[in-house]
Amino acid sequence: MYPTISKLFEDSVAANGQRVMLRMPIPKERKKGRGVQLVLNEITYERLGEMVGRFSAALTELGIQPGDRVALISKPRAAWATTFFSILRCGGVVVPLDPELQKGEIERILREAEVKGVVFSGGKTDDILAIRDLLPEKPFIVSMDRVKDERVHFLDALILGKTPLPRVEVDPSSLAILMYTSGTTGNAKGAMLTHANISSNALTSVKVVSMSAEDNFLSIVPWNHIYGLTITLVTPMVVGATSTYTPVDRNLAEVMSKAKPTIILGVPKLYSVLYGRIRGSIEKSPLKRLIDRSSPTLMGKLVKKKLFGKQFRFFTSGGAPLSPEMSSGLRRMGIGIMEGYGLTETSPLLSMAEAFAEEPGMTAVEGVSLRINHPDENGVGEIMAYGPNVMAGYYKNPEATAEVIDADGWFHTGDLGTYKNGRLLISGRAKNVIVLETGKNVYPEEIEWELITLPAIEEVMVHEGQRQGVPAVCAQIYPNWTYLKEQGIDDASAALEAIWEAIKERNENLAAFKRIRYKESITLVDQPFEKSGKLDIKRHLHQVDN
């Protein structure tokens, strides 16, 4: 039997009291008006434990009982972690929401989840109060920031003088998190994740990455995504390690330098940009090119020392497939990268590749079974998973639950891949597959892996289009204008021509039926694609009618 998340937290606080649990970058005014510097605000396990005990007492006074849902709408910060563990400590269920959601989206989820309370941060007070007035049961509202409105509680004021609440005992099979995940149309479904779902995956993840209390995780993935929540908040907590969260912004490099991470957790988009800059720096220097050719691992040591520090161990990546060229390029330099695969519905981790994997693909993590449903002649079929981390179902949606969890408890991922000799290779999402007139299946992700490494391309989304009335492989591309302008190209027509020439050359790495065969199949877009918090493209917003 797996423990509850609250039990894991309580035990870790007792064992790691003065160790730093969280570091959050904040701007701070320099002395004598010398501008703003970035500092890492630290909170220890003991301090967070004290705050959690007091806030859980306040939540109980506000009426939260075991099983009640409380929405948490904020970007990661110490108060986010305090709220998360406090809700669980008093037996409640956390409903983490992306603060970037629109008012109507938030209202729909809060109404469906029948929340008893909302804890939020940022400038959404008017929206939250307006939504509250539309709900049949008016939830209480708590702000992490001081708000001049008597209808809103201030978190810091609520916990003053409170006696910490003892942990409320709940069964590990009880609902812990109601995590809403977008579908193909953008409509969110609430994945019901139990304490055992999360704790089993966190305990497994500790083993997979050989994590210890000496590790310091740096993550760009927010905690309202299960990837960020389980892997960078709960998992490090289990062993007394430190987590540093930072958004992807102009301060990212500075935070990396100050945090001195041993493990960096990101998404393929981040690593694509990082690898591109590393290769660009090498290509611009004759000395670096010489070192890279003669001793790539020495080049890797220089890169690690400059960017991350000598304590750095490896990258971990999830949320979308990695480009094989990028991962092999990093490993060639002695920079390890562990690629993980999973979904919100699986809490999330299902499989992982070793930091210096010599074979393609990933292996199933401990306790998880994988198989391929209805494989084709190439062994490609839908990936299915079974294990303690598979969700209890979709909230108030038995029909959708029955579509993805069969009678034997196997979860149908909707992803395509092969599973041979114990190694899983991902082909792509079943819903994205392009079926050509010949019957051949083309997986857009495979083509995107090849094209995203082209310096002229900033972002790319491969999709099905039409040419002469039959399906064709097409792409929407946001050009890398910085690079193109360095080449003397500053208009769309010339950019398209340059990108097309680069694609034709890169086509040699792809089977003939997978290639973008015509320049007319490429569309340049004026703005970057709208993306999720994991930086993957929201494809449903950018699909074109055939």
Query: What's the pLDDT at 29?
Result: 67
Binned at pLDDT 50, 70 and 90, residue 58 comes out as very high
Strands 20-29 and 188-194 turn out to be unpaired
**Alpha carbon 252 to chain centroid distance?**
16
With contact defined as beta carbons under 8 Å apart, do 312 and 306 qualify?
Answer: no
Cα–Cα distance measured from residue 233 to residue 256, given in angstroms and rounded to the nearest whole number: 18
Cα–Cα distance measured from residue 337 to residue 348, given in angstroms and rounded to the nearest whole number: 18
Binned at pLDDT 50, 70 and 90, residue 103 comes out as confident
pLDDT at 121 over 80: yes
Contacts of 155 (CB under 8 A, 6+ apart): 55, 79, 82, 83, 119, 142, 143, 144
Query: What's the pLDDT at 256?
Result: 86
Q: Which pair of structure tokens corresponds to residue 10?
A: 């309580």
Binned at pLDDT 50, 70 and 90, residue 302 comes out as very high
Average pLDDT over residues 23-36: 73
Global pTM reads 0.84
Q: Would you call 390 helix, strand, or coil by DSSP?
A: coil
How do residues 248-271 score in pLDDT, each as one tens digit? Answer: 877 888 888 889 999 999 888 788
Query: What's the pLDDT at 182?
Result: 57
| H-helix or E-strand spanning residue 338 | strand 336-342
- CA dihedral over 421, 425, 431, 434, signed as positive or negative: negative
Cα–Cα distance measured from residue 269 to residue 463, given in angstroms and rounded to the nearest whole number: 18
| 90: nearest Cα among 139, 57, 50 | 57
Query: What's the pLDDT at 546?
Result: 46
Cα–Cα distance measured from residue 342 to residue 318, given in angstroms and rounded to the nearest whole number: 8
Query: What's the pLDDT at 123?
Result: 80
With contact defined as beta carbons under 8 Å apart, do 138 and 111 qualify?
Answer: no
**Alpha carbon 522 to chain centroid distance?**
29
Query: What's the pLDDT at 146?
Result: 92
Contacts of 250 (CB under 8 A, 6+ apart): none
Query: What's the pLDDT at 185?
Result: 37
The residue assigned the tokens 């493209």 is 537
Binned at pLDDT 50, 70 and 90, residue 31 comes out as low
Binned at pLDDT 50, 70 and 90, residue 102 comes out as confident
**DSSP at 233:** I
Backbone torsions φ then ψ of 319, nearest 5 degrees: 95, -25
> In the chain, what are the domains?
5-212+223-236 (3.40.50.12780), 267-430 (3.40.50.12780), 437-541 (3.30.300.30)
Query: What's the pLDDT at 446?
Result: 79
Cα–Cα distance measured from residue 82 to residue 356, given in angstroms and rounded to the nearest whole number: 36
pLDDT at 9 over 80: yes
Q: Which pair of structure tokens corresponds to residue 364?
A: 């199933």
Cα–Cα distance measured from residue 417 to residue 132, given in angstroms and rounded to the nearest whole number: 44
Cα–Cα distance measured from residue 459 to residue 339, given in angstroms and rounded to the nearest whole number: 21
Cα–Cα distance measured from residue 157 to residue 37, given in angstroms and rounded to the nearest whole number: 29
With contact defined as beta carbons under 8 Å apart, do 325 and 337 qualify?
Answer: no
Would you list the DSSP string of 373-423?
A: ES--TTS-EEEEEESTTS-SEETT-HHHHHHHB-TTS-EEEEEEEEEETTE
Would you list the DSSP string of 177-222?
A: EEEEEE-TTS-EEEEEEEHHHHHHHHHHHHHHTT--TT-EEEE-S-
What type of residue is 27? P
Q: Listing from the earlier edge strand, what are the strands of the sheet with 470-479?
A: 457-467, 470-479, 522-524
| 168: nearest Cα among 389, 387, 407, 5 | 5
Q: Which pair of structure tokens corresponds to residue 28?
A: 């701070």
Cα–Cα distance measured from residue 542 to residue 529, given in angstroms and rounded to the nearest whole number: 8
Query: What's the pLDDT at 186?
Result: 47
Average pLDDT over residues 131-151: 93
Helical residues (DSSP H) of 230-351, grouped into ranges: 235-239, 252-259, 268-284, 286-294, 296-307, 324-332
- CA dihedral over 537, 539, 540, 541, signed as positive or negative: positive
Binned at pLDDT 50, 70 and 90, residue 432 comes out as confident
| H-helix or E-strand spanning residue 306 | helix 296-307
Q: Would you call 105 helix, strand, or coil by DSSP?
A: helix
With contact defined as beta carbons under 8 Å apart, do 320 and 536 qualify?
Answer: yes
Cα–Cα distance measured from residue 211 to residue 240, given in angstroms and rounded to the nearest whole number: 10
Query: What's the burial of 118, exposed, middle or buried (CB within 10 Å: 0-12/13-18/19+)?
Result: buried
pLDDT at 340 over 70: yes
With contact defined as beta carbons under 8 Å apart, do 412 and 384 qualify?
Answer: yes
Q: In sequence order, what are the beta bridge partners of 37? A: 28
Backbone torsions φ then ψ of 321, nearest 5 degrees: -65, 145
Q: Would you call 428 helix, strand, or coil by DSSP?
A: strand
Binned at pLDDT 50, 70 and 90, residue 32 comes out as low
What type of residue is 79? A
Cα–Cα distance measured from residue 70 to residue 94, given in angstroms and rounded to the nearest whole number: 5
Q: Which pair of structure tokens corresponds to residue 16?
A: 């790691």
How do residues 274-283 score in pLDDT, each as one tens digit? Answer: 888 899 899 9
What Å distances lie between residue 316 and 143, 232, 337, 408, CA to CA? 33, 11, 5, 32
Contacts of 28 (CB under 8 A, 6+ apart): 36, 37, 38, 39
Average pLDDT over residues 175-196: 81
pLDDT at 181 over 50: yes
What Å distances lie between residue 94 and 69, 113, 182, 255, 478, CA to CA? 6, 10, 18, 29, 37
Query: What's the pLDDT at 321?
Result: 76
Query: What's the pLDDT at 30?
Result: 65
The residue assigned the tokens 């992490």 is 144
Average pLDDT over residues 342-370: 95
| 445: nearest Cα among 291, 296, 299, 268 | 268
